[in-house]
């Protein structure tokens, strides 16, 4: 399993951003490699993080070349003060079993 964490500090949104964001989210969640997502906000720092989980890197590779994602990346400075992407291999996940999470699923 692979995870891709997108961390960003947003300036503002507009209709163009909302349209691209919806298109990208739809593309990702309908990709056969997609397993799930998490979302976190740090209000103190004004940042948001979205973590997507994919079976393999194929899902992330498809996102990289998706036309609306490429368009959003080209124009990111209109909407974001800055961003960071962290790509990780999920080696293991554990807990008490009382909370459902994408990483708890049998593969």
Mean pLDDT by 10 residues, the chain (107 residues): 96 93 95 96 94 95 93 92 96 90 80
Confidence at residue 7, expressed as pLDDT on a 0 to 100 scale: 97
Confidence at residue 97, expressed as pLDDT on a 0 to 100 scale: 85
Q: Using alpha carbons only, give the angle 42, 3, 45 rounded to the nearest 5 degrees.
A: 15
Distance CA 89, CA 98 (A): 24
The end-to-end CA distance of the chain, in Å, is 9
Distance CA 35, CA 24 (A): 15
């Amino acid at each position: 399993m692979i995870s891709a964490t997108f961390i960003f500090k947003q300036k503002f949104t507009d209709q163009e951003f909302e349209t691209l964001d919806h298109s990208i989210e739809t593309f990702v969640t309908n990709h056969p490699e997609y397993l799930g997502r998490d979302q976190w906000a740090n209000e103190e720092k004004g940042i948001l993080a979205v973590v997507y989980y994919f079976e393999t890197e194929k899902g992330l590779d498809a996102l990289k070349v998706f036309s609306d994602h490429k368009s959003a990346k080209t124009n990111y400075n209109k909407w974001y003060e800055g961003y960071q992407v962290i790509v990780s291999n999920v080696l293991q996940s554990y807990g008490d079993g009382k909370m459902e999470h994408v990483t708890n699923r049998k593969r």
